[in-house]
Amino acid sequence: MNQSLLELIKTRRSIREFTDEPVERSLIEQIICAGIWAPSGLNNQPWRFVIIRDNDIRERLAALTHYAHIVKTAPALIAVYLDQEKMYDRVKDHQAAGACIQNMLLAAHALGLGAVWLGQILAKKDRVNEVLGLSSQHELAALLALGQPRRRDQQSQRQPLSTFILNEFGGTAP
């Protein structure tokens, strides 16, 4: 991890095409570890994870999303959950899950892997729980697809900073 954090943030891209190379368990653990260091209200750490590398499970999950091709071809998936027994404020805990997921995406990028945050599958989160053998205590927050990128030429642009700042109070303008 020799890139600066700001450089990692700016160069991370959603990767949707992967090689067949398996993802080592140690890399998956490092990615999850980065996720659990995200901030959470009252430090409740409500996130839980399911690691999926089994072809049959991937096929069953692929049937639940428009992004089946990504789910089928990613060598590893991580289902990110919120444990509802650990949650205390729905909005804050979902924000914490977003921070957790962002940490995981940045860690994957820093480790040389590609990843994409899949959210459309949330429309069938109850069926995902059935496939993964989980009760409704666990609420699906996202499915991350991971692997070695098939290509690394994805481009992205952002609008100028001034587009996003609505107002400023105090300080001295240059």
Element (H, E) at 142: strand 138-147
Domains of the chain listed by start with CATH number: 5-163 (3.40.109.10)
Question: Tell me, what's the pLDDT at 3?
Answer: 59
Is the CB of residue 158 less than 8 Å from the CB of residue 97?
Answer: no
Element (H, E) at 46: none
Rounded Cα distance, 143 and 62, in Å: 11
Q: What is the mean pLDDT of each run of 10 residues along the chain (174 residues)?
A: 79 94 98 98 97 98 98 98 97 97 97 97 98 98 96 77 88 68
Is the CB of residue 142 less than 8 Å from the CB of residue 67?
Answer: no
Q: Which two tokens stand for residue 120?
A: 């459309």
Is the CB of residue 98 less than 8 Å from the CB of residue 104?
Answer: no
Question: Tell me, what's the pLDDT at 1?
Answer: 44
